[in-house]
Chains A and B, each alone.
Chain A
Amino acid sequence: MALASVLSSDLGDFSYEKCQPVDFIGGLGPNAANYESAPGESLSFAVRNPLFGEADDDVEKKIQFLHGTTTLAFKFQHGVIVAVDSRATAGAYIASQTVKKVIEINPYLLGTMAGGAADCSFWERLLARQCRIYELRNKERISVAAASKLLANMVYQYKGMGLSMGTMVCGWDKRGPGLYYVDSEGNRVCGDLFAVGSGSMYAYGVIDSGLRQDLTVEEACELGRRAIYQATYRDAYSGGQVNLYHVHSEGWTRVSQDDVLKLHQQYKGQA
């Protein structure tokens, strides 16, 4: 499997084969339903750990991974706008308010992070490596469709094992702006607008009411920023800062990073 081939070292101590919990997966068949999420719903559910029985709950704390988020991306005439929040939660504890949820795969491809933080950053880093190998072999940049397909196929091998990843691959290739949604359930869809995470519904509301194809770059940035801000306002699991990126024909640019508190003052003053 992809994970094993990347992590194998000379000692072979860390190889995936030894850790493969095949028995546990079979035994947890009926329980797996508890952790399913309908498409479009929050991806911030607890990742199933086969060795962590529910009986231990009162005695020990469960291992808690980082998730809970709002991320969005949309296409418009000047490219793709990508806006994300920066909060990471472990259960009800806010583990960090300064997480980078946009992963810079290469100078013209971006990936967003929703769901399990480690899952997203690990697989997108692996994707960056695959994209680079493609460039070296084919002497041309990889397309957004191909990059998203590589990612989707990598995680499909782990379907059902508890990976939690909902990501948007955004870029600009010879077909123009590209935006794909890929998740750990095996979905891969092309689209003009996506919002992913526990705060996605709030973000959709704002974006849908303001989105036009003929937006200027500043208007589109402001729309993305406002949508994330509104999501952080209503969703307890989103917050921190709003990070905004713009993908255009020359690649991506980091537009702004605004603290949500500051945006709150700003919008209150405008109203």
Chain B
Amino acid sequence: MLSSLSFGDTGKMKEYHYTGAVEHRFSPYAFNGGTVLAVAGEDFAIVASDTRLSEGYSIHCRDSPKCYKLTDTTVIGCSGFHGDCLTLTKIIDARLKMYKHSNNKMMTSGAIAAMLSTILYGRRFFPYYVYNIIGGLDEEGKGAVYSFDPVGSYQRDTYKAGGSASAMLQPLLDNQIGFKNMEGVQHVPLTKEKAVQLVKDVFVSAAERDVYTGDALRICLITKEGMDEQTIPLRRD
């Protein structure tokens, strides 16, 4: 077997097997990391994201939140490829304006979710590499969370985590908010304060174990009074 240890140009040790000429294809996508989370309560919704923007082994920016405000009652969290996140949010903003001008009212959360599904599916054969989660209040004032896959399949949830640490956060939310796999526990409705504290705890845990999550946490709390933002520091390593 032909193999050799050598030092790569970054100074890290590499082990590779000589396989002959390799063609490197240009990839139009990059993975910029980041985790997004949304929780729906009785009369509130929370959308939270970390603020680290990375690529490979580097951190590009420590202050790049992934929550974008769409309307007074709706916030979207986008993680994945940052280029597509930016373009997608621009397109959504433009479509919101168009709807406002032709229908003389703001889009509701449910309508934005349905519209986003068709926008994403329009690029079915060259997808937006974005994992979206919309959080907001529905027409009755109840909290609503809509989670998407990159090509537009969506459904309404009570809570959802997306992005690089989603597989770590989702089981914890299943247990604490969904009361899954707990016998004989009373299902108490989630209060605003408890939800915010849970989100903070959950992101602190994610930052411990996921390299792409950290630096700071941006929480957007949506109630009928409006949108409230807070930023909490996380591990920067």
A positions within 8 Å CB-CB of B: 3, 6-7, 9-11, 13-16, 19-21, 49-53, 55-56, 59-61, 63-66, 88, 90, 93, 95-96, 98-100, 116-119, 121-122, 161-163
B7 interface contact, C-beta 8 A: no
Q: Are B151 and A51 in contact (CB under 8 A)?
A: no
Q: A51-B126, A63-B150 are in contact. Are A118 and B120 (CB under 8 A)?
A: yes
From B27, B123, B147, B157, A53 is in contact (CB under 8 Å) with: B27
Closest 8 CB pairs of A and B: A117-B153, A118-B153, A118-B151, A53-B25, A60-B31, A7-B122, A118-B152, A14-B122
Chain B positions 154-202 with a Cβ under 8 Å from a chain A Cβ: 154-155, 157, 166-167
Q: Please report whether the interface of chain B is mostly helix, strand, loop or mixed according to DSSP.
A: loop
From the candidates B24, B31, B150, B155, name the one contacting A55 in the complex (CB within 8 A). Answer: B24
Contacts of B91 in A (CB 8 A): 13-14
Question: Are B28 and A65 in contact, CB atoms less than 8 angstroms apart?
Answer: no
Residues of A within 8 A of B22 (CB): 55
Whether the Cβ atoms of B153 and A161 lie closer than 8 Å is no
Asked whether B118 lies within 8 Å of A49 as measured between CB atoms, the reply is no
Q: List 12 A-B contacts (CB under 8 A).
A: A7-B122, A14-B119, A21-B125, A51-B29, A51-B126, A65-B151, A98-B157, A118-B117, A118-B121, A118-B152, A119-B124, A161-B125
A65 close to B150 (CB less than 8 A): yes
Bound Cα distance from A56 to B24, whole angstroms? 9
Interchain CA distance A50-B124 in the complex, whole Å: 11
- A56-B29, A118-B152, A121-B152 given. 18 additional CB < 8 A pairs? A7-B118, A14-B123, A49-B127, A51-B28, A56-B27, A60-B27, A60-B30, A61-B31, A63-B29, A63-B129, A96-B147, A96-B155, A98-B155, A98-B157, A99-B155, A116-B151, A118-B153, A121-B117
Docked Cα-Cα span, A254 to B160, in Å, equals: 26
Do the beta carbons of A16 and B31 come within 8 Å of each other? no
In the bound complex, CA of A59 to CA of B149 (Å): 21
Could you say which of B30, B56, B98 contacts A10, with CB atoms under 8 Å apart? B98
Contact call B117/A122, Cβ cutoff below 8 A:
yes
B86 beta carbon closer than 8 Å to chain A: no
Q: How far is the CA of A97 from the CA of B173 in the complex (A)?
A: 13
> Any chain A CB within 8 A of the CB of B111?
no
List the A residue with the shortest CB-CB distance to B28: A51
| In the complex, residue of chain B having the shortest beta-carbon distance to the beta carbon of A11 | B94
The total of interchain contacts (Cβ-Cβ below 8 angstroms) comes to: 101
B56 and A59 form a contact (CB under 8 A) = yes
Could you tell me the distance in whole angstroms from the C-beta of A78 to the nearest C-beta in chain B?
31
Contact A21–B118 (Cβ < 8 Å): no
Q: Is the CB of A118 within 8 A of B24?
A: no
Contact A93 to B155, CB < 8 A, known contacts A11-B94, A55-B24, A65-B149: no
CB proximity of A88 to chain B, nearest CB, Å? 8
Given contacts A60-B31, A65-B150, A121-B153, contact A55 B118 (CB under 8 A): no
Residues of B within 8 A of A162 (CB): 125
The answer for the CA separation of A10 and B105 in the assembled complex, in Å, is 19
Contacts of B150 in A (CB 8 A): 63-65
Closest to B147 in A: A96
C-alpha gap A175/B127 in the complex (Å): 42
Chain B: which residue is nearest A6 at the CB level? B118
Given the complex of chains A and B, what is the CA–CA distance between A172 and B158 in angstroms? Answer: 34
Shortest Cβ gap from B13 to chain A (Å): 17
Query: Which of B23, B129, B151, B157: most chain A CB closer than 10 A?
Result: B151
With A and B bound together, what is the CA distance between A79 and B124 in angstroms? 36
A162 to B151 alpha-carbon distance, docked (Å): 13
Determine whether the beta carbon of B24 is less than 8 Å from that of A19: no
Is the pair A117, B29 in contact by a Cβ cutoff of 8 Å? no
- Chain B residues within an 8 Å CB radius of A21: 125-126
Distance (whole angstroms) from the CB of A129 to the closest CB of chain B: 12
